[in-house]
Amino acid sequence: MKEDHFSRYSRQIFIEEIGLEGQKKIMASKVLVIGAGGLGSPIIQYLAAAGVGTLGIADFDEVELHNLNRQIIHTESSVGLSKVKSAETFVENLNHQVTFTGLEEKINENNAEEIISQYDIIVDGSDNFSTRYLVNDTCVKLKKTLVYGSILGFSGQVVVFNYNGSKNLRDIFPEPPFDEDMSDCDSLGVLGALPGIIGSMMALQTLKIITDLPVNLNQLTLVDTLDWRFQTIDF
């Protein structure tokens, strides 16, 4: 490992369970983050900071002013730019050692397999059920690990799917609700720190998977930040 790599990542290398070998795994990993919004922002921040070798970002949206209360990799100067371009600027400024791959397109039935097949781990920070179920089903088909999270209001959830033979999204929620029947952040709002918490948890789970640290499987973590309660549900 190069001296500048050791110096940069020393505080995680010093962790006994990670060490040099764990850092090498991080630097060799290929992770796709779907969505560069509220959840995607902290995920991208911490994976880039940790030195993930190849970081793919898929998002088809542009930065808007109302995004800035929670999508903290974007700035006022990013308004009007694609979120992928804004994310690329952020990653380049934070860690030039990360290979950034931007995908300014929506994940759909025509491109999901081609895109997802190129990565080791998929981290889903999307904001609609059609994308979440498509990503889940594609990960099952391609045998890709999926780190999943969602947020609304003061609440969030995190779970790891399809890892070492574990269950997937349809094992806990067999069918998606109709998107038009579901409230979202645009209609009910969200405090910006909540996606920071949930996205950070998703990033940590991703790094644990990369470095072969223990991950609780078939377990959904529910976070209620209003009453400050954390609950796990086995499925």
Q: Please report, in tens digits, the pLDDT of each residue of the chain (235 residues total).
A: 787 899 999 999 999 999 999 999 999 999 999 999 999 999 999 999 999 999 999 999 999 999 999 999 999 999 999 999 999 999 999 999 999 999 999 999 999 999 999 999 999 999 999 999 999 999 999 999 999 999 999 999 999 999 999 999 999 999 988 755 555 555 668 899 999 999 999 999 999 999 999 999 999 999 999 999 999 999 9
Measured over the CA atoms of residue 89, residue 9, residue 44 and residue 41, the dihedral's sign is negative
pTM: 0.95
Sequence letter at residue 109: E
d(CA 208, CA 181): 35
Residue 69, classified by CB atoms within 10 Å of its CB into exposed (0-12), middle (13-18) or buried (19+), is middle
d(CA 169, CA 133): 7
Contact assessment for residue 137 and residue 100, using Cβ atoms and an 8 Å cutoff: no
For residue 143, what are its two tokens?
Answer: 């045998």
